[in-house]
Structure 1
């Protein structure tokens, strides 16, 4: 057990990066009677560096640039090689293993040692590798390098100890598979062909043993020559010469005939009794023209000739289409069964295919039952046992390339019932037309896998909106690609609420139900746009007057000057008719931002939802919007500047660089005595009272009735009016959370001339430099002569090489978090709060007053507004987390899930069941209070609430910035995990004051 005081004493000496604020004591104010002090807090340290060892667990998605395929018919496992040297081993659903060649050379061919748990790989660097699969992680046992010849083809007969290797020079080498060394037996190309033949036959393209005699080896050369070599007698049995180049050869199981595929799109059948000419020549996709000539066809790259007991043989091949027909055709796989010819079109080029048979012995009737087709970006299996040849439903998570991945979220501790219910609902979404048989790749009973991703459920957000007609809608002006692309998600596993933010500045709220429903989707439209005067720009700092109307910071009311008929419209149109929704996640409400003065709405940069409060909050570079999704109303819609109230820590100069001198309490923590106690609060529009924020909302219940709610703001205080436009900026931004927002003078543009934004919005910009996000030089209060204020100013300086175009920026809302906390320093009990983080490193607290009774909650308004509490960090704020005084993570309150469409029980009326994790209920030893962990792009702080004393500060990075940060549980403790733009992953223990990292790994 250690006390925080001991860490404070040794912080500056033990950690150069850790900076303790010397003014914490003075800035903390007078604690409440039950509020703990830093000396009262005891935290047990349990995490050590050994708890943070990085290891690879699982690869999700399709193999990148696949090159070859192999199948073990006994153990029923599959292997896929890639151009980057990777090997993917697949078995039954759940068996998925990835291995990598250290050389990174492309894998040319794979050969299983059937039923022996071993695999041979031939790579582009002319090296053979023998892999051992009889262990948790496959490993290379032996390697054999060919220095003078290039490997072109390999063949390993079933239950044989000899591996045959063909080369580019036409020679065939034999490798002992047990010792993995060359045997010395070499079949030279000049011995294989006739001595009178002077032309080189070309590289070896095929090797196979005769089904009726394993001592006979069939060698196919690229030029069209086929030779059968007697391994015992070391001589040639027969030679076949053909005018067209050979691509592949396939035996009949009796060993009396074989079939070849050629470069002219033909198939030739040869009989061993008469090798002078083929007994049959067919052009499956070529016709005889009127002049008697054959129609030219593409090469048949591979052919498989398989016999069946109960039907005619199967001839399966890829390619061979006529050049005239294949111009607009997709890649095809052809199945010839008797006189029937079936052509299967593929979405991507065919890399390789294999025919799966019941027996591994080549001299038995094959009885094929499936065809495995490896495509460039997909992997399918065709069922041969049904006449229409349906495909199997792929159980592997390989459809990650179906569309670009724009958002990911990880949830570790979910309720135990959520995964089975998602799986059962998702199983009902399966498409029709799939084979009803079991997945044929069913092996892998030993432990190959350390992690597996399975598709549970799929949800398409586009079904909420009407399909735009040609010339209608403004989504095309906002994005050049998919207007429904997902930017971020928020999911509450306990209440099963799901919220999606789209690229067209829309938010969709989904509820989970086991029953289908036929409901109308509620649509709310928010006007959240600002004049160009709000842009922080040096050019405007010299021209704009020092005092301006504070209403310009708030969302504009309807009918403002310059508004056109095309304004006050969202980018997409929500379906107005009742929508039938299947069981699963069902859309309940859509919130959209509107166009204003010809300017598109800025993309949403932050999102949070709380089921217990019934509130949804999102923000962008214009401000913050809070939605009451129980009452279906806009609770708050405020500009970023208005969130400060009178507690704005910056002197935002617009005319003169002169700094106003004023005293502040502490470094950046401002006491709430700067805001009058009768703080003006935002109330729900249903209360009938005018709110003190400037909002304009359209509420559509899809009954073609539009309710317009206009509420206007009153000046918050004199200081707000004096400093609302006092900006002084000299900077640009490079971090993901503070991209410049598109600004300019109000203008009306036509559909064809509308401004276009790329898929990367303010929340997803391209990387430019690894430097701070908030690259702005802002005048801080001059009385705060501390090290942190100097560092803040320095980190926001800009390079002189940056053009003035990048200087314009706004203060964006970068992160939001609902939770039980203390909105003011004088609070004795925790209340519902919304923590707001901005791109300038500012943390704002908004207390929320929520009716406790369920009936009142559905009718009475909710009040919330700025509390005057302002905290500061360097760089954009990324993450909040709350701990009790024992160092345990405090969860946000939530509502227990109940089916909204379930049957009513008259004896048990349906009531909301709320689970609350307040700081006071999660601890007993130290009384009220909790710890707040705030992480920005540059640093992290531990703050003691409600005193707002900054206990510890740690500067995480100076030369780069953080992309993601989160609080994770490890070994029954918690830590801060950070992902840096320079590729480093860091974990920090904040139970020891963030004094030093536990782990730092570069990738």
Structure 2
């Protein structure tokens, strides 16, 4: 009768807990690593030394020096073109839906990208037909060439397009008539527009139908006309504009003299002819340091032999010295999107002196060193293609051993001998370190389909590749025919890039990885049941592995394996680095589903769909092997089981069970007090679950609702085999008594079955700061068994000490390697009669969490996730959250359970009571790749594959965020000139003001506010005037954006449903209505860190505005009162007038938290200002 009253939390504890939650938990996206998925465009700022990459999904990534990275999402159709406004930190983006967007990088507060403005919908029809664009060097005008041959002029100052073409097709047709003996030929689409490198008034236009025009912009007339016999694909200037080059559809290129009056070609060549060739898509000619021309072009290969190849060729010819002639055809696996060179102009400008060649491909980016004679590739500090071979598994190593890291770097130096040793040429941006401990290094290991393991340094934002380990060198596989091109063949191909998605043998795929950096031990498990043990070697060695076969079906002769064959080893030579020391072959050779390493006892456990085994890898000895198959179904196996899959549930109920549960529900409903059902007169706002009214009501009237989960049965043709081992765990705990700790192995299966084995006979020794045990008379025997009634798959097993810390090592449980092994550290346990038990075991299945006490395995607490929330568990971890303060006595540290469910939500639970603290929306429920690849870290972060090529890092701890800040320097004078010129245009009216002139007038308006009463349902706005008396003084203009609050809009990612929910008043979410004082404060201080589409403000006699019956909010709007002259003095105080603010689709703007330059601002539509959103979080 008193359980409801006793179970309720006191308000004082609730408030304390809420404050603690607010300071401990917070979801933020750190950065995206890897290569952007589906790239479509690239741009380079030669002054700021930045590159930008756009994708088909609207993503924009900006990179500078290593660890300098910014991102932005337009949320529109795919990006077609990107152009930097050199030196201004601004970008022009052209999308496929016919819109131009202007973005800029700002340093206010934290560095971020702001969306300035978007072109009108009226010109979208014209921009959709864009073929090429050219930004003039004054950064004020953009030339747009269309498919129909017209060229338009876009004014960047007022962001408007002249609807009349500046160079119409009719004018070009007249030119053709004059030069083609009266023939009327349509010029075709505009293929390329380039501005003269010295004379800004001249441009070169290449039309599809064989026409090249030298055009003069001031007179709007042509100077010269050139006609070629083949269709034009691209044109470019070189040699200070004295010459230009063209490439054509038949695979040829031509070099022209720009001053030649006659239509005469200086050089005409088909480099890979004379047979028909593919079109030469783009050409670029540079003058090298020695004066030789370097011709770079893509395509142009013989059509019959190499039409399916993707190449970029570099040709440097010298007629007088053949030794200086070089010709390389860089051969790539995927298509070429674009390329450009990074130049270092000579003092007189006569030589380009190209330093590097940047090539953007569909699946990777390659940078060629043009200074070194051999033209090698640069090793990439970022933008690495982690999907060079598809990623199968990931493993995180936190705070790795420093000696191990040094050995890894030495091993890596051998692998990068063929790469350029020059400094990375992209050096834009500035990075300020903040209390960064360079001694801590974090590694991410990825296992791939081709049998390789790659080591990535994820200590900072950049993710350079440290080294790569190949396991296929140890196995006999069918090698493909050697189709490498001989050096003497033509064209001179050179295989470049690392992307190679093709695998010689699917059995090589890596399924599980386990690493211990204290003992330099790496365990690799594959698809065909192969398990390799690697350790470091400093000397070259010939390796001939001895195969040890473990039969998991010993005594089960009726089972017939119908899968692939087991792996066969071969001898191999290892120069230095990782060397295989042990090889275990499981039978049947099924994919490994679980792997756990205990380096202190030099053992590992490995499991498949048929059972598991414990191996001593130092002695190559099998300690135990267990078959988990059901003897009744051994002869019914029809197909090889996979290591992944979802179980099929068959819900059934009996009449007796249904009646029993009906009576339970009836009795339970009668025992609930009437006081728990509160009748309230306050209206619950269903459209806004974030309102304070809803939160408090939910705390009072919420009644736990539990879904009924029936008994599950498995069919014989289930996709998920019930005998599959899903998790393995090593722990030294009180397995048999409270007075003796025993080493143990825990194994969980898909059928809800837990096997507990005791390991006896190891003696401890201290070697290299790590406690290592020697095997004397070790034995491994079954000690206990646990069978869960709901028979859900066991995903994780963790043994907890009295501080709720994990004391062992297990599969999918990250650990800190630099510290001593936790299983050997003495726990802070006082052995007395008052302590019932010191250790507990947490068993996590797909449907519930359950804690048992040790050694008696008595149920302590459980939480039915599926029955309560309707979701299923995917991954869990134990993390310690620490609140650090200046006063050590006030610091707080606590361990929590972190869970990822199948809906993509990350929830945090207290231990051992399983009270949910907070809930975040992390990934989409439909993103299976992200759900299956998410990897927790020990410091409150998580990694997951956002796509096959991108790795995203998120954090749910407010204490472990960015360790440095970034900024960028740009030409503020020129940027302000452009912004001020925008104010003078009628098409775009920016709401701006000067801070020094607005403060005086705001004081007067504040005085009025105390003498006048505002209407309850109206909005009053404040206006200020802008003073432009001193035109020589240039200040950063301020903009204040009116925010339209939409009460009907709900935040689906945020809710509360527990007594310890977080109070939203203390959260960093600006959804509440601002008060008058807050409005004035927002004007007196710095403006928001974003520039939005201008707002039009008009004053009307009297209009009242109400928002769903709520109290009105006062929003500041600064209207521009002056034009080109000096602003009039502020008017004297008058009675306040009500004004209406007409906002063009003003969205709700929330405060955003940005770390490491990652900003997910998005533009809701092309005609509306961008919306900055904070990642949704659900708190309970």
What residue in structure 2 maps to residue 89 of structure 1? 62
Secondary structure at 2:392 match in 1: coil
Cα–Cα, structure 1 residues 450 and 483, in superposed 2: closer, same or farther, change >3 Å? closer
- Quote the Cα distance in structure 2 between the aligned partners of 1:284 and 1:480: 37
Secondary structure at 1:406 match in 2: strand
After TM superposition, give the deviation of residue 250 of structure 1 in Å: 0.8
After TM superposition, give the deviation of residue 367 of structure 1 in Å: 1.8
Does 2:167 match 1:188?
yes
What residue in structure 1 maps to residue 475 of structure 2? 465
| Deviation per residue, 1:909-948 (Å, 9 max, x gap) | xxx9976446744678985512322211111123333343
Residue 305 of structure 1, aligned match among 268, 285, 299: 285
Does 2:219 match 1:233?
yes
Cα–Cα, structure 1 residues 514 and 281, in superposed 2: closer, same or farther, change >3 Å? closer
After TM superposition, give the deviation of residue 51 of structure 1 in Å: 4.5
Aligned positions of 1:936-951 closer than 5 A: 936-951=845-860
Residue pair 1:496, 1:897 contacting (<8 A) in 2 also: no
What residue in structure 2 maps to residue 876 of structure 1? 793
What residue in structure 2 maps to residue 982 of structure 1? 903
Cα–Cα, structure 1 residues 8 and 795, in superposed 2: closer, same or farther, change >3 Å? farther
Residue 388 of structure 1, aligned match among 344, 365, 374: 374
Residue pair 1:211, 1:253 contacting (<8 A) in 2 also: no
Cα–Cα, structure 1 residues 420 and 173, in superposed 2: closer, same or farther, change >3 Å? farther
Cα–Cα, structure 1 residues 992 and 250, in superposed 2: closer, same or farther, change >3 Å? same
Residue pair 1:303, 1:316 contacting (<8 A) in 2 also: yes
What residue in structure 2 maps to residue 123 of structure 1? 95
Residue 580 of structure 2, aligned match among 572, 581, 587: 587
Residue pair 2:559, 2:635 contacting (<8 A) in 1 also: no
After TM superposition, give the deviation of residue 634 of structure 1 in Å: 0.8
Secondary structure at 1:574 match in 2: coil
Residue 147 of structure 1, aligned match among 105, 124, 135: 124
| Deviation per residue, 1:1-48 (Å, 9 max, x gap) | xxxx9999538999xxxxxxxxxxxxxxxxxxxxxxxxxxxx999862
- Quote the Cα distance in structure 1 between the aligned partners of 2:907 and 2:820: 38
Cα–Cα, structure 1 residues 593 and 372, in superposed 2: closer, same or farther, change >3 Å? same
Does 2:848 match 1:964?
no
What residue in structure 2 maps to residue 322 of structure 1? 302
After TM superposition, give the deviation of residue 618 of structure 1 in Å: 1.7
Gaps of 5+ in 2: 178-183, 320-324, 434-458, 481-502, 666-705, 767-771, 883-892, 925-1180
- Quote the Cα distance in structure 2 between the aligned partners of 1:808 and 1:439: 48
- Quote the Cα distance in structure 2 between the aligned partners of 1:420 and 1:306: 41
Aligned positions of 1:15-26 closer than 5 A: none
Secondary structure at 1:510 match in 2: strand
After TM superposition, give the deviation of residue 885 of structure 1 in Å: 2.3
Aligned positions of 1:441-840 closer than 5 A: 441-446=426-431, 451-467=461-477, 481-513=505-537, 521-529=545-553, 555-556=554-555, 571-575=566-570, 580-594=573-587, 600-640=588-628, 744=635, 762-765=642-645, 794-797=710-713, 805-806=717-718, 809-824=721-736, 826-840=737-751
After TM superposition, give the deviation of residue 503 of structure 1 in Å: 0.4
Residue pair 2:187, 2:209 contacting (<8 A) in 1 also: yes
What residue in structure 1 maps to residue 939 of structure 2? none
Residue pair 2:384, 2:463 contacting (<8 A) in 1 also: no
Residue 841 of structure 2, aligned match among 929, 932, 937: 932
Pairwise CA RMSD of aligned residues?
4.3
Cα–Cα, structure 1 residues 491 and 185, in superposed 2: closer, same or farther, change >3 Å? same
| Deviation per residue, 1:269-327 (Å, 9 max, x gap) | 33343344133351333556xxxxxx433221111122235232122111222324434
Secondary structure at 1:148 match in 2: helix
Residue 100 of structure 1, aligned match among 56, 73, 88: 73
Does 2:132 match 1:216?
no
Residue pair 2:721, 2:750 contacting (<8 A) in 1 also: no
Cα–Cα, structure 1 residues 376 and 941, in superposed 2: closer, same or farther, change >3 Å? same
Cα–Cα, structure 1 residues 158 and 756, in superposed 2: closer, same or farther, change >3 Å? farther
| Deviation per residue, 1:593-628 (Å, 9 max, x gap) | 13xxxxx43332221111122221122232221112
After TM superposition, give the deviation of residue 515 of structure 1 in Å: 5.4
Cα–Cα, structure 1 residues 46 and 406, in superposed 2: closer, same or farther, change >3 Å? farther
- Quote the Cα distance in structure 1 between the aligned partners of 2:639 and 2:237: 59
After TM superposition, give the deviation of residue 891 of structure 1 in Å: 4.8
Residue pair 1:495, 1:897 contacting (<8 A) in 2 also: no
- Quote the Cα distance in structure 1 between the aligned partners of 2:235 and 2:830: 75
Secondary structure at 1:56 match in 2: strand
Residue pair 1:156, 1:162 contacting (<8 A) in 2 also: yes
After TM superposition, give the deviation of residue 983 of structure 1 in Å: 3.0
- Quote the Cα distance in structure 2 between the aligned partners of 1:624 and 1:346: 46
- Quote the Cα distance in structure 1 between the aligned partners of 2:582 and 2:866: 41
- Quote the Cα distance in structure 1 between the aligned partners of 2:267 and 2:755: 80
TM-score (norm 2): 0.60
Cα–Cα, structure 1 residues 374 and 859, in superposed 2: closer, same or farther, change >3 Å? closer
- Quote the Cα distance in structure 2 between the aligned partners of 1:913 and 1:101: 47
- Quote the Cα distance in structure 1 between the aligned partners of 2:900 and 2:820: 37
Secondary structure at 1:572 match in 2: coil
Aligned positions of 1:422-433 closer than 5 A: 422-430=408-416, 432-433=417-418
- Quote the Cα distance in structure 2 between the aligned partners of 1:846 and 1:922: 24
Gaps of 5+ in 1: 15-42, 289-294, 471-478, 530-554, 595-599, 642-723, 728-740, 747-754, 899-911
| Deviation per residue, 1:836-870 (Å, 9 max, x gap) | 21212233322222332659964532123222342
Cα–Cα, structure 1 residues 457 and 345, in superposed 2: closer, same or farther, change >3 Å? closer
- Quote the Cα distance in structure 2 between the aligned partners of 1:618 and 1:745: 24
Cα–Cα, structure 1 residues 995 and 331, in superposed 2: closer, same or farther, change >3 Å? closer
Residue pair 2:528, 2:591 contacting (<8 A) in 1 also: yes
What residue in structure 1 maps to residue 777 of structure 2? 861
Number of equivalenced pairs? 784
TM-score (norm 1): 0.70
What residue in structure 2 maps to residue 169 of structure 1? 148
